[in-house]
Amino acid sequence: MSDAKPSDSQTRLLLAQFLFANNVDIETLYSALGSDLSNADPEAVSHMAGIIDGVALATAKIRAHGLDDWTKN
């Protein structure tokens, strides 16, 4: 196992995957942490929200069209 620390981008991706898997949105996370989104790093929030939106869209398409055909529709 490598001792290499993940980049900030990789860490946000891992967190976004966890949040999506557990049906937690970004605003709920920040609220639970007692943080205000207006004080958060806008690039990080945007990156995580974009990843979660992309995963949600892909999941919906896979459910509707199947794993082999989801990218065609």
Mean pLDDT of 11-29: 80
Q: How many domains are contained in the chain? A: 1
pLDDT tens digits, 35-67:
777 787 888 888 878 887 888 788 888 888 887
**Distance between CA atoms of residues 40 and 7, nearest Å:** 18
Q: Which pLDDT does position 2 carry in this prediction?
A: 62
Compute CA distances 23 → 20, 36, 57, 69, whole Å. 5, 20, 14, 25
- Is residue 36 included in any domain, yes or no? yes
22 pLDDT more than 80:
yes
**Distance between CA atoms of residues 10 and 30, nearest Å:** 19
- Is residue 3 included in any domain, yes or no? no
- Is residue 73 included in any domain, yes or no? no
- Band (pLDDT 50/70/90 cuts) for residue 1 is low
- Is residue 27 included in any domain, yes or no? yes
- Is residue 70 included in any domain, yes or no? no
- Is residue 33 included in any domain, yes or no? yes
- Is residue 19 included in any domain, yes or no? yes
Q: Which pLDDT does position 27 carry in this prediction?
A: 77
- Is residue 4 included in any domain, yes or no? no
30 pLDDT more than 80:
no
Range of the domain at 61: 10-65
